[in-house]
């Protein structure tokens, strides 16, 4: 794939679950903003600002189209990242007004939903349940979902396992008078199909994990607004301000997104997210096949290694393993550093999933390979020769 030609042959980047590499068209879109129409959105009337407004609005539309959702039902706001979006929602959610009686999350969550659901439970004094996900990533539906606010990921950052029963979960949650918030951080790039047309109440994602610049996104159902008590306020959110009062712009349906966009936004990054979505949608079958071939090859190889313990139940762009110090004399952190010495960039530790990996599974620190469309078959060969003796 030519869009990552800036990569040196010696650089083997396998940390896409943290941040994808950005393809040339995305970098170009960001540079074009800075070089050609560097301006504020929403506020200015000169032509540069009009270009920014047009492109920012186009990105909002592209996000909805990417997910198969309709503008009459949803709006798109931009934030810093998934964590920020989830916290904005959970810290402003009026549980009493919404009739919510508890909050539910799952055991394999990233700290981002895991901690923010703890904070929600503390703030509201409502009980919090942590449901054990099935091995295939689905959430058991025999729990009591009545009037529950459910916050779960659509794909895990440990092994990419997906919320396979997301559609049934959505139905169950809504039939029981509850709300569903999806952490789509890992799903947007490589598992978007699972999210398509799912009428969740909100979907939070990180553009930096979907080949776009550093940016957060929130896709929010319009009727959720009635249950959000705005507490994070500032410029760009108001239609009028008096000495002790203000009127929020988000009451107007076409400005609903301002609910979460206080202050100046990352206009260039938003514009470049639009370019990333175009790029993702324009990928060829051969690009998808190349990614699949690479991660399948790596997974199959890792499974043959006697001293490598593979966490994944199935091949996936995200693969976690660990080495046991008693068997090898070193741990995954040491292995990660040794790979880094050879230009192979992986992640080690618990990847912000401390509860599940450390406290439930008692795994030693892990090492994660997370692949992307930029990876070449030669990258996998490099890993294979580096791990040949394990």
Binding site for ligand PLP (CB under 6 A): 17-18, 81-83, 110, 112, 153, 157, 183, 185-186, 206
Residue number, 184 or 249, with CB nearest to ligand PLP: 184
Burial of residue 209, with CB atoms counted within 10 A of its CB: 0-12 exposed, 13-18 middle, 19 or more buried: buried
What pairs with residue 344 in β-bridges?
12
Q: How far lies 344's CA from each of 36, 111, 139, 322, in Å?
A: 36, 26, 34, 16
* CB distance 146 to 119 below 8 Å: no
Cα 333 versus chain centre, distance: 25
Closest distance of CB 215 from ligand PLP, Å: 9
Give the span between the Cα atoms of 78 and 82, in whole angstroms.
10
Residue number, 41 or 160, with CB nearest to ligand PLP: 160
Structure-token pair, residue 16: 């896409």
Closest distance of CB 204 from ligand PLP, Å: 8
Residue number, 49 or 113, with CB nearest to ligand PLP: 113
Residue number, 37 or 355, with CB nearest to ligand PLP: 355
Q: Is 177 helix (H, G, I), strand (E, B) or coil?
A: coil
Strands 12-13, 344-345: parallel, antiparallel or unpaired by DSSP?
Answer: parallel
Closest distance of CB 370 from ligand PLP, Å: 9
Q: Which residues contact 199 (CB under 8 A, 6 or more apart)?
A: 69, 73, 170, 174, 221
Q: Is 307 helix (H, G, I), strand (E, B) or coil?
A: coil
Residue number, 83 or 332, with CB nearest to ligand PLP: 83
Closest distance of CB 10 from ligand PLP, Å: 26
First to last CA, the chain: 31
Residue 313 backbone phi and psi in degrees, to 5: -90, -15
Residue number, 105 or 153, with CB nearest to ligand PLP: 153
Closest distance of CB 237 from ligand PLP, Å: 22
Closest distance of CB 157 from ligand PLP, Å: 3
Closest distance of CB 83 from ligand PLP, Å: 3
Residue number, 52 or 77, with CB nearest to ligand PLP: 77
Residue number, 186 or 346, with CB nearest to ligand PLP: 186
Helices (H), the chain: 24-36, 47-67, 82-92, 95-98, 111-124, 166-175, 187-190, 267-281, 285-304, 325-328, 332-341, 354, 377-386
Closest distance of CB 26 from ligand PLP, Å: 17
């Amino acid at each position: 794939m030519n869009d990552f030609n800036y990569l040196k042959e010696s650089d083997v980047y396998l940390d896409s679950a943290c941040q994808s590499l950005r393809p040339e068209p995305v970098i170009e879109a960001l540079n074009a903003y800075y070089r050609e129409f560097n301006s504020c959105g929403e506020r200015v009337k000169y032509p540069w600002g009009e270009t920014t407004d047009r492109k920012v609005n186009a990105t909002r539309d592209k996000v909805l189209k990417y997910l198969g959702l309709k503008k009459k039902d949803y709006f798109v706001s931009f934030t810093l990242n998934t964590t920020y979006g989830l916290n904005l929602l959970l810290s402003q959610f009026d549980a009493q007004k919404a009739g919510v009686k508890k909050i539910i999350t799952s055991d394999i969550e990233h700290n981002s939903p895991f901690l923010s659901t703890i904070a929600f439970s503390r703030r509201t004094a409502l009980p919090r349940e942590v449901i054990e996900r099935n091995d295939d990533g689905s959430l058991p539906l025999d729990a009591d979902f009545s009037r529950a606010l459910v916050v779960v990921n659509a794909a895990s950052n440990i092994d990419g396992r997906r919320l396979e029963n997301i559609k049934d979960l959505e139905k169950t949650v809504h039939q029981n008078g509850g709300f569903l918030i999806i952490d789509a951080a890992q799903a947007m790039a490589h598992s978007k199909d699972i999210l398509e047309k799912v009428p969740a109440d909100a979907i939070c994602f990180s553009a930096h994990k979907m080949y776009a610049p550093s940016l957060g996104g929130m896709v929010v159902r319009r009727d959720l607004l009635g249950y959000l008590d705005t507490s994070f306020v500032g410029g760009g959110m108001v239609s009028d301000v008096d000495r002790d009062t203000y009127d929020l712009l988000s009451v107007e349906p076409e400005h609903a997104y301002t609910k979460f966009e206080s202050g100046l936004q990352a206009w260039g990054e938003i514009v470049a997210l639009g370019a990333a979505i175009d790029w993702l949608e324009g990928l060829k079958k051969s690009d998808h096949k190349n990614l699949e071939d690479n991660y399948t090859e790596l997974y199959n190889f890792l499974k043959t290694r006697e001293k490598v313990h593979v966490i994944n139940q199935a091949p996936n762009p995200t693969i976690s393993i660990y080495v046991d110090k008693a068997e090898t004399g070193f741990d995954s952190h040491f292995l990660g550093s040794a790979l880094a010495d050879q230009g192979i960039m992986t992640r080690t530790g618990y990847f912000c999933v401390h509860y599940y990996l450390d406290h439930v599974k008692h795994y030693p620190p892990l090492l994660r390979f997370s692949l992307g469309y930029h990876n070449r078959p030669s990258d996998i060969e490099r890993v294979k020769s580096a791990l040949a003796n394990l």
